[in-house]
Amino acid sequence: MKSFAPVLTVVGAIFVIWYGAAVVLNSAWAYDKAKRADVTLSFSEMVTDTWSQEKPLLPAPHQVVKEIYKTTVLKKITSKRSLIWHGWITLSATLLGFAMGTGFGILLAVGIVHSRAMDMSVMPWVIASQTIPILAVAPMIIVVLNAVGISGLLPKAFISMYLSFFPVVVGMVKGLRSPDAMQLDQMRTWSALKPTMFWKLRLPSSMPYLFPSLKIAMAASLVGAIVGELPTGAVAGLGARLLAGSYYGQTIQIWSALISAAVLAAALVALIGLLQNITLKRMGMLR
Amino acid sequence: MNKEVIIETKGLDLTFETNDGPVHALKDINLTIEKGDFVSFIGPSGCGKTTLLRVMADLEQPTGGTCTVNGVSPHEARMNRAYGYVFQAAGLYPWRTIGGNIKLPLEIMGYSKVEQEERVSKVLELVELDGFEKKFPWQLSGGMQQRASIARALAFDADILLMDEPFGALDEIVRDHLNEQLLALWARTHKTIGFVTHSIPEAVYLSTKIVVMSPRPGRIADVIESTLPKERPLEIRDTPEFIEIAHRVRDGLHEGHSNG
């Protein structure tokens, strides 16, 4: 309960700044309208107007909330105007990409930890891979995969995987290497073989390192899925909603897609946090 | 008295290649450890006492001379699971209970579930930790953790127990108590024990044989056969006999230093 007060304070501050910024940014358009209609606006009339424009520069929070309510609760899930439908499209690509990225990342880490050759050869490429701007690569991946007949979920999942495997590799390499020389010697005195050392010592030792990596990977996966939806011509998904919104100047739609993506990411990361707590508690590592 | 030789080294040499040039860790070590011996290795840091123990355990490779354990090479002895090794730190896995930690080597060695349970309760009793099976390591004091790690080394049937300053990190009162327990345990199990320490009273109190070592290069300065009886209450440390042996150990350490 103690953690609620600071969180709520920050949320409150964000709302105050948001409403204030909406007034400042949208006031020009409000005065412009008034001028053309030949009326003079009082301050309070101006403020009311900036919070209720149809295509504001910055929509006010209640407008976004209303839009989200309209496109989630009031629309059928199967409707192409439902944010839940779009959200699910993005979520499915995110989850698939996250699963692939995590699997690939763990495999790479296992290889890197056990083979010096892999450590020397693969690790620099892993790091180099993340310096490439994904926005530039994403359209190529989509186009190339489309040319060989792969479209829909998988290309987006690949982009998610590309972004999400990196934190997993880095975290797991560190985690699998966390047992100290004494612990490894101890295993040797029991004449344990490498697979035994891995399953009984390295893997359990890496758990506290895995979960923070998974949180970053999950957030990166969502970004990857949204980026992957941009070059597909705005067909479906939260990314498509963002793009369509920007085509038609539907700022409220953009912001509602944006907020939904943020809420989705927060929920997914919180889910991993929960898994982390359960796992570490069962392992007796959480006091 | 013709006892079975358990560990034997002849002209053992070990040089580490480091970035600062070679370090002569062990030089011409000739030593025999017989069945049922309690051998302490004592000396200042850098004298190679831990390295010598690690060679016996096949954790370091000698660069010269020979070492046999149970008549075979240390590597074969390790593969035969001939010894239990207790490190300076307890090294218990935080994600396993005390019972789970003791089971770990048993799982690796493929003991049946039933036998694992039996052995765990047997060795826990041996180190007076019965009732702590379900506790996690962090719930135990440092001394109890070290006892659990000794129990773990006893759980499988190794006749040799190699201990590298197992009580080094503990305070004197706990240490005295554990030393007493260790002697009782040794008497009950008839194991052969190699024990590294840098405490003179500890070495004299525990050992049947004290190997005094000196540094640079690490070598044996003196080997003292203890004349103390097998039955040793803590008060034995005030007897003239005890003080005389301690004196000889101190002389050995001193000589090694002035020669080196």
Do A190 and B81 lie within an 8 Å CB cutoff?
Answer: yes
Phi first, then psi, for residue B29 (nearest 5°) are -90, 115
Reply yes or no on whether the pLDDT at A152 is more than 90. Answer: no
Please tell me if residue A287 touches chain B, with a CB cutoff of 8 Å: yes
Give the nearest partner residue to B95 out of A189, A192, A284, using CB atoms: A284
- Partners of A285 on chain B (C-beta within 8 Å) are 94-95
Residue ranges per domain, chain B?
Answer: 5-82+159-259, 92-157
Nearest-angstrom CA–CA distance, A238 and A230: 9
Interval B212-232 mean pLDDT: 87
Nearest-angstrom CA–CA distance, A57 and A252: 9
Q: Which CATH number among 3.30.420.40, 1.10.357.10, 1.10.150.120, 3.40.50.300 corresponds to the domain B5-82+159-259?
A: 3.40.50.300
Which two three-digit tokens encode residue A53? 């424009």
Q: Residue B8, exposed/middle/buried by CB under 10 A (0-12, 13-18, 19+)?
A: middle
Q: Does domain A83-282 have CATH number 3.40.50.300?
A: no
Report the pLDDT value the prediction gives residue A249, as an integer from 0 to 100: 85
Which two three-digit tokens encode residue B239? 């007897």
Which residue is associated with the tokens 């079975």?
B4
Which residue is associated with the tokens 């739609």?
A253
What value of ipTM does the predicted structure carry?
0.86
- Partners of A182 on chain B (C-beta within 8 Å) are 87-89, 91
Listed by number, the residues of chain A in 173-212 with a beta carbon closer than 8 Å to a beta carbon of chain B are 182-183, 185-192, 196, 200-201, 204, 207
> Cβ contacts of residue A96 below 8 Å, gap of 6+?
A153, A154, A157, A160
Residues, chain B: 260
Interval A225-248 mean pLDDT: 84
Which two three-digit tokens encode residue B97? 């209970």
Reply yes or no on whether the pLDDT at A220 is more than 90. Answer: yes
Gyration radius of chain A's alpha carbons: 24
pTM of this structure: 0.83
CB B104 within 8 A of CB B93: yes
Which residue is associated with the tokens 């697979």?
A195
Minimal Cα distance from B160: which residue of A? A189
SS3 A26: helix
Listed by number, the residues of chain B in 121-180 with a beta carbon closer than 8 Å to a beta carbon of chain A are 136, 138, 156
- Provide the residue type at A223 as one letter: V
Phi first, then psi, for residue B129 (nearest 5°) are -120, 20
Minimal Cα distance from B94: which residue of A? A285
Average pLDDT, chain B: 88
Give the nearest partner residue to B91 out of A186, A196, A200, using CB atoms: A186
Give the nearest partner residue to B138 out of A201, A283, A287, using CB atoms: A287
Do B136 and A284 lie within an 8 Å CB cutoff?
Answer: yes
pLDDT band at A200 (very low <50, low <70, confident <90, very high): very high
Give the nearest partner residue to B108 out of A183, A185, A192, using CB atoms: A192
Reply yes or no on whether the pLDDT at B260 is more than 50. Answer: no
Report the pLDDT value the prediction gives residue A234, as an integer from 0 to 100: 57
pLDDT, one tens digit per residue, over A93-111 is 999 999 999 999 999 999 9
Nearest-angstrom CA–CA distance, B224 and B209: 6
- Partners of A191 on chain B (C-beta within 8 Å) are 78-79, 81, 108
- Provide the residue type at A278 as one letter: I
Report the pLDDT value the prediction gives residue A81, as an integer from 0 to 100: 82
CB A65 within 8 A of CB A261: no
